[in-house]
């Protein structure tokens, strides 16, 4: 892994659409980054934003960035929801605990194969 592939991915919050708009998509695609590696980077971004929100619940910038990641990459589900009696899909799920001990979960599924 070259450091520039991750830096480029993170600078565009993983949005291949935004990379395309800025004319850097070909450079990014030339790195041949796997979907698994991209998902790891998205999880790292989510974790850092979640920590920022734990420190300051009024950090609207972190909240906006987290919302953008969720929208952009089709992430859904929070483990606390009852999911209408259905067993939650735990494939590609990040799970951690907050300061108050409540289980937190973000599911990484949906539109990740599209240019978004």
Q: pLDDT digits over 74-91, tens only?
A: 765 433 343 444 555 555
What mean pLDDT, rounded, does the chain reach? 75
115 within some domain: no
39 within some domain: yes
Please give the pLDDT value at position 89.
Answer: 54
Cβ contacts of 54 within 8 Å, gap of 6 or more:
98, 99
| Enclosing domain of residue 50 | 3-107
Average pLDDT estimate for 13-21: 92
Q: What domain count does the chain have? A: 1
Please give the pLDDT value at position 58.
Answer: 94
112 within some domain: no
97 within some domain: yes
3-class secondary structure, 58: coil
Average pLDDT estimate for 34-63: 93
77 within some domain: yes
Residue in 99, 93, 62, 57 with CA at minimum distance from that of residue 78? 93
Question: Residues, the chain, total?
Answer: 116
């Amino acid at each position: 892994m070259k450091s520039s592939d991750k830096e480029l991915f993170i600078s565009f919050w993983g949005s291949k659409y935004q990379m395309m708009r800025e004319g850097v998509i070909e450079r990014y695609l030339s790195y041949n980054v796997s979907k698994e590696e991209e998902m790891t980077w998205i999880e790292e971004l989510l974790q850092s934003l979640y920590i920022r929100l734990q420190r300051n619940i009024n950090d609207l910038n972190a909240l906006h960035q987290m919302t953008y990641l969720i929208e952009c990459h089709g992430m859904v589900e929070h483990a606390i929801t009852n999911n209408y009696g259905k067993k939650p899909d735990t494939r590609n799920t990040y799970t951690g605990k907050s300061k108050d001990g409540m289980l937190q979960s973000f599911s990484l599924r949906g539109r990740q194969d599209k240019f978004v």
